[in-house]
Structure 1
Amino acid sequence: MTYLWINPVSERMISAAALEKLLKKHDLTRVVCRESWGEIVLRKYRELLEHADGTFADARCPAAVSLVHSLQPGIRIADIEPILIHCARELAERPDLADGEKIITTPCRILADMGNKLELKDTHFVPWNRFLATLGEPMEPAPDASPIPPGFFKDLPFPVVSKSGRPAIESYVTGNDWKNAKLIELLYCVQGCHRGDGVQ
């Protein structure tokens, strides 16, 4: 048995009918997470910011985290794994999925690399475009907007600044304005993961 988890960006790139055909053709079983990991991750950030001093960088995007870490050591990196990783851990540990391999699709290569380094049992992370290429299936264009756009933290009761795209991130963190923020939301790809190298 091979189980497939599709990230929200990739999910928008395939019709229900095409997905059903793909699953059947390649003998894949689609799975979803039982926990609401987006809500759980948001709660973890709230708890972190309530009890910590300084400015934190959102750690959901490993490419952005790496950039900030290299440019501004004064900004602390939140020790909270991306939502996709939380979800993958659940799937890797679920008894009802223990009889097969789990494939976790990602919108970018760096997130797939991050996941594979964890060496979760019977779990493999792969960018969506590479996954489709391996199956010999065509890829539809990425959506015009991300299903997870900037603004994930907008309801937190703290000063939050949102930056997307390398130039905007670089400009912000190399200046001094970042010191006024409690949390910096970071997306390396402009306006969200729909521009990731795993869905282009």
Structure 2
Amino acid sequence: MNSSERWATSRLTCAGTVKGWQLILFTIFSVNSFAASGLEMQVSAGLTDAQSPRILTDYWSHSVNFNASFGGALNESLSFFVAFTHHYFDYRGDVVAQDEHANASEVLLCVKKRMAWLNHRLLSPYYALGVGFSLLTMPDVYRQEKYDLYPIRPENLLALRQQSTGFTAGFRLGMEFLIIDPSRLFAEAFSAITLDQNNPFIYLGIRCGVLFTI
């Protein structure tokens, strides 16, 4: 190895070491900030109105959704959290058998920003952005050999075992209400889109819940 190669290797090693220490310091700072502001946990439930894919809007009514999130606040206005949401799509009694339901599960990494334009001790408006992954599944009632049981157009069926899955982007807009410091009630409207090339899963929804600071 000549001198120029040794210099290049040394430079790369130093750069890697500096970035490693930067990552460690950022992690320590974030953990300290979370510890100072408190860890947050929230649970909620609400209603979902699917906009796509067509088979979902044709053969299922509105769904209920359940959400659980866990994360922490960097400061009074900014929080990060991981959110899990499950959507349970109920059947339409005139089309789909009673025990046949559609389901969707979603995991998002989110950042929430409390807005400063309403500086009120009891009320706190916020918005949140999230990215992650979703999986929408249809029941086995839509297998090829069961077409004759229900009036379902084959062209509306989802491919790949009746699944729609992929990268998901979500948005929330809501209001927190202080009840017993630091616990809060909240209500929010939300939307998300799963970027499945053939059958994007798109929905709107509302929900309410409780946020706890641990």
Q: TM-score range by the shorter chain?
A: under 0.3
TM-score (norm 1): 0.25
Q: In terms of Rg, which structure is larger?
A: 2
TM-score (norm 2): 0.24
Which of 1 and 2 has higher RCO (CA within 8 Å, sep 6+)? Answer: 1
